[in-house]
Amino acid sequence: MSSTMKAIRIEKPGDVSVIKYLDIPKPQIEKNKILVKNKFVGLNFLETYFRTGLFKASMPLVLGHEGAGIVEEVGSDVTGFEVGSRVVYLSSHNAYAEYILVDPVNAAIVPEQMALDTASASLLQGLTAVTFVKRAYNVKKGDIVLVHAAAGGTGQLLVQLCKHYGATVIGTTSNEEKAKLATDAGADHIIYYTREDVPTRVKEITNGQMVNAVFDGVGKSTFQASFDSLRRCGTLVSFGNASGVIPKVESSVLSEKEIALVSPGVFNYVRTREEFTEACSTLFDLVESGSLKVNICKEFDLKDAADAHRFIEAGKTTGKILLRV
């Protein structure tokens, strides 16, 4: 058995040119870990933040935060997993590789009838959506919510779940093609942010009520529009920096309308084994029942991770991007 594996690694922060496909040592099993042979790795905008240096990390760095594969070895202190188990997992890094050592706290068995690509595509974005609509802001029947980038991978899932829990959903998109995706996901109203003023349209759609909550994964370019679209005592869930880091906010600005500003991270919602298992169970139940449909936008081979980064940074995503391993 080979002692090396293929992986995507960066030696320093930068543009896509720093992404290297090379041979590195294969990880060795540890008593409290499982060794997973990856089949699919999920690609997220989060990895571009680490690649560019927006988020700091030690170098060299194997990118990647999630994947799905087959358990190849089980540490002596691990229970609940066996060789051959099909699993999904979250990791702080190291997923863009043929193999990865996984903490069983952040791993779950994939339901027998679920394909591995579906499980991989649903995991991080799905857990993000599942936890955000209940814990960052508790979406309930009668709410009106605004979802930015409603045709993106996370956006479509948020739209579906907000509808599932009884809310009226307003989605922002850039064009008619993406508007159809958002509408198919369940959006009741569409705002074309490229040619319409978002708060003005929100006011028209809601007859001046404005929205109970905004889910904003875009960041800097949408922050003010998100804030201005909220009603008194509304909640702004800001969870991404695709267009840049959001500006600093004075507490006095929030208190004018008693706005709650939440900046959640899914990893903090699934920190324990019990939290992760429960969230995955909820997610997989929603997927298997058809209440949550997962859209795989595009697949790239692991060696083409640089092309995948170009694709996601170009704003072309209409669902989840996977790397085939």
Q: What is the pLDDT of residues 18-66, one digit of tens each?
A: 999 999 999 999 999 999 999 999 999 899 999 999 999 999 999 999 9
The pair phi, psi for residue 296, each rounded to 5°, is -85, 110
- Cβ density class 230-250: b for 16+ within 10 Å, e for less: bbeebbbbbbbbbbeebeeee
For the chain, counts of helices (H) and of strands (E): 10, 16
CATH number, residue 48: 3.90.180.10
- Which is it for strands 66-74 and 86-90: parallel, antiparallel or unpaired? antiparallel
Residue 207 burial (C-beta neighbours within 10 Å; 0-12, 13-18, 19+):
exposed
**235 & 276 share domain:** no
Q: Which of 263, 283, 309 is the last residue of a domain?
A: 263
Q: Which of 240, 263, 286 is the last residue of a domain?
A: 263
User: What's the residue count for the chain?
Assistant: 325
Q: Write out the DSSP string of 208-251.
A: T--EEEEEE-S-HHHHHHHHHTEEEEEEEEE---TT-PPPP--H
**201 & 283 share domain:** no
For residue 16, the 8-state DSSP code is G
pLDDT tens per residue across span 59-114 = 999 999 999 999 999 999 999 999 999 999 999 999 999 999 999 999 999 999 99
**220 & 273 share domain:** no
Helices (H), 55-151: 116-131
Q: Residue 247 sits in which domain range?
A: 141-263
CA 156 – CA 168 distance, rounded (Å): 14
CA 279 – CA 261 distance, rounded (Å): 23
**296 & 249 share domain:** no
Domains contained in the chain, number: 2
- Cβ density class 101-115: b for 16+ within 10 Å, e for less: bbbbbbbbbbbeebe
**168 & 153 share domain:** yes
Q: Count other Cβ atoms within 10 Å, centred on residue 253.
A: 11
**258 & 272 share domain:** no
pLDDT score, position 80 = 94
Quick check: is 280 in a domain?
Answer: yes
First CA to last CA across the chain, in angstroms? 18
**147 & 226 share domain:** yes
**83 & 151 share domain:** no
Quick check: is 83 in a domain?
Answer: yes
Q: Which residues contact 300 (CB under 8 A, 6 or more apart)?
A: 43, 307, 308, 311, 321, 322, 323, 324
Quick check: is 17 in a domain?
Answer: yes
The tokens describing 311, both together, are 């694709």
**191 & 156 share domain:** yes
**161 & 205 share domain:** yes
For residue 32, the 8-state DSSP code is T
pLDDT in tens, the chain (325 residues): 789 999 999 999 999 999 999 999 999 999 999 999 999 999 998 999 999 999 999 999 999 999 999 999 999 999 999 999 999 999 999 999 999 999 999 999 999 999 999 999 999 999 999 999 999 999 999 999 999 999 988 999 999 999 999 999 999 999 999 999 999 999 999 999 999 999 999 999 999 999 999 999 987 878 899 999 999 999 999 987 766 777 777 777 788 889 999 999 898 999 999 999 999 999 999 999 999 999 899 999 999 999 999 999 998 787 899 999 9
The tokens describing 4, both together, are 């090396």
**40 & 114 share domain:** yes
**145 & 259 share domain:** yes
Quick check: is 56 in a domain?
Answer: yes
Q: Which of 245, 263, 281 is the last residue of a domain?
A: 263
Quick check: is 70 in a domain?
Answer: yes
CATH number, residue 256: 3.40.50.720
Output Rg (C-alpha) for the chain, integer angstroms.
20
Quick check: is 135 in a domain?
Answer: no
Quick check: is 257 in a domain?
Answer: yes
3-state secondary structure of 144: strand
Quick check: is 129 in a domain?
Answer: no
pLDDT score, position 243 = 67
Partners of 41 in the β-ladder:
67, 323
Residue 311 burial (C-beta neighbours within 10 Å; 0-12, 13-18, 19+):
middle
